[in-house]
Amino acid sequence: MSTHDETDVATRATALLGRELHAHGVTLRITEVEAYGGIHDPASHAYTRTARSEIMYGPPWRLYCYRSYGIHWCANVVTGPTEQAAAVLLRAGEVVDGLDLARSRRPGVPDVRLARGPGNLAQALGITGDDLGSELLDETGAVHLGPERPPVGRVSAGPRVGVSRAADVPWRFWVTGDPTVSAYRRSPKAPQASE
């Protein structure tokens, strides 16, 4: 993959930070994302083209949902470019509207942790496989993005959480110092970091 492609993927991912996501009565301000480069990224589901990853080969700005470890749902934004099948995993955010609804979906959890971690984020927003393929720029849809926002002031970058391949690629981005960001945990299967 060319350097230009890598920059592109990172730019599209960081552009989602600070942007709002509306889903099933809850509004979330995105504070943490991970970029997945698609066909050239060994850590991406699109690295092998299957029925599950097919949606990433389609038009951008659609929702890619997948089930992780059998129990949790994770939400991704297909960012394109289409031929690259790139997507961005939404890892954490701050609930800014529909707080009571989010709390009812995550009983007993402090507000700051309502949408911390990709599985928890999807749960707080009520996102499941039924939302697969949602048009995220369609304001009438049950799941959609808010308008573009100016870039967030301070953004940190680091390796992606829990991936066993390409574990040292710094494609996790978060709003520096934000309390809703999840903790980093390296995959137990990932090779030793080469420092």
Hey, which bits of the chain come out as E strands?
20-23, 26-36, 63-68, 72-78, 87-97, 143-145, 155-158, 172-175
Please identify which residue in 18, 117, 126, 159 interacts with DNA, judged by CB under 7 A.
117
What's the Rg (C-alpha) of the chain? 16
Count of alpha carbons within 13 angstroms of residue 166, beta-carbon side: 17
Could you tell me if 43 and 166 are in contact, meaning their C-beta atoms sit under 8 angstroms apart? yes
| 110 near DNA, rule: CB under 7 A | no
φ, ψ for residue 77 (rounded to 5)? -100, 120
| 70 near DNA, rule: CB under 7 A | yes
Binding to DNA (CB under 7 A) within 12-51 occurs at 34, 36, 43-46, 48, 50-51
Binding to DNA (CB under 7 A) within 135-174 occurs at 160-164
Cβ closest to DNA, residue 140 vs residue 192: 192
List C-alpha distances in Å: 185 to 7, 86, 104, 132, 167. 24, 23, 28, 27, 11
Q: Where are the alpha helices (DSSP H) in 82-125?
A: 99-105, 118-125
CA 53 centroid distance within chain: 15
Size of the residue set binding DNA (CB under 7 A): 37
What is the closest distance, in whole angstroms, from the C-beta atom of residue 153 to DNA in the complex? Answer: 26
Cβ closest to DNA, residue 110 vs residue 147: 110
| 60 near DNA, rule: CB under 7 A | no
Which of these segments, 8-16, 18-26, 63-71, 136-144, binds DNA (CB under 7 A)? 63-71
Please identify which residue in 40, 67, 103, 149 interacts with DNA, judged by CB under 7 A.
67
Could you tell me if 96 and 28 are in contact, meaning their C-beta atoms sit under 8 angstroms apart? yes
What is the closest distance, in whole angstroms, from the C-beta atom of residue 47 to DNA in the complex? Answer: 8
What is the closest distance, in whole angstroms, from the C-beta atom of residue 53 to DNA in the complex? Answer: 5
Strands 20-23 and 143-145: antiparallel
Please identify which residue in 14, 31, 84, 120 interacts with DNA, judged by CB under 7 A.
120
Residue ranges that bind DNA, judged by CB under 7 A: 34, 36, 43-46, 48, 50-53, 64, 67-72, 74, 76, 87, 89, 109, 117-121, 129, 160-164, 182, 187, 189
